[in-house]
Amino acid sequence: MNGMDLIVDTNLLVLFVVGTTDRNLIARHKRLKAFSDDDFDLLCEIIACSRQVFVTPNTVSETSNLLGHIDEPARTRIFETFRVLLLTTPEEYVESGIACNAREFLRLGITDSALLHIADESRTILTTDLDLYLSALSRGLVAHNFNHLRELRL
């Protein structure tokens, strides 16, 4: 993934925002029970090796909804971090009418279909979602399942 552009899925974006705010919040956040501080470190290493991270409005919306699953004052701090991230991260819009025409739409939904649409040979999809990962590979796209990378680290 060195030097490639990176497309990050919702779960990993939530992990990144929460961990960037305060790594101690990872264990407290209701939507991050499957992740650890080591996972956050691995994600940061991957992002640091990437040229650029891209998101879609769909991913941003889902992330926003999931980030709020924590008590104040942590919630406000997390959203302050999220705002800064959004101001510096390229966002690519995919019309819903285009994303829903993807053959994978009925299985993946709109958000992941949009991620597949913005992926190409210079962009790597990084996901925890097995269906998105397999769909990307079946299209000949570059994709990595974060769960596999975590296991390699153990």
Q: Which ranges of the chain have pLDDT less than 50?
A: none
Longest CA pairwise span in the chain (Å): 44
pLDDT of residue 2: 67
Which token pair is 70?
Answer: 């924590």
- Fold assignment, 5-153: Rossmann fold (3.40.50)
pTM of the model: 0.94
- Domain spans in the chain, listed from the N-terminal domain onward: 5-153
pLDDT score recorded for residue 124: 94
Helical pair 57-67 and 10-21, crossing angle rounded to 10 deg: 50
In this structure, the dihedral spanned by the alpha carbons of residues 141, 144, 145 and 150, taken in order and rounded to 10 degrees, is: 170
If you write DSSP's letter for every residue of the chain in order, what string do you get? -TT-EEEE-HHHHHHHHHHHH-GGGTTT-TT-TT--HHHHHHHHHHHHHSSEEEB-HHHHHHHHHHHT-S-TTHHHHHHHHHHHHHHHS-B----HHHHTTSTTHHHH-HHHHHHHHH--TTEEEEES-HHHHHHHHHTT-EEEEHHHHHHHH-
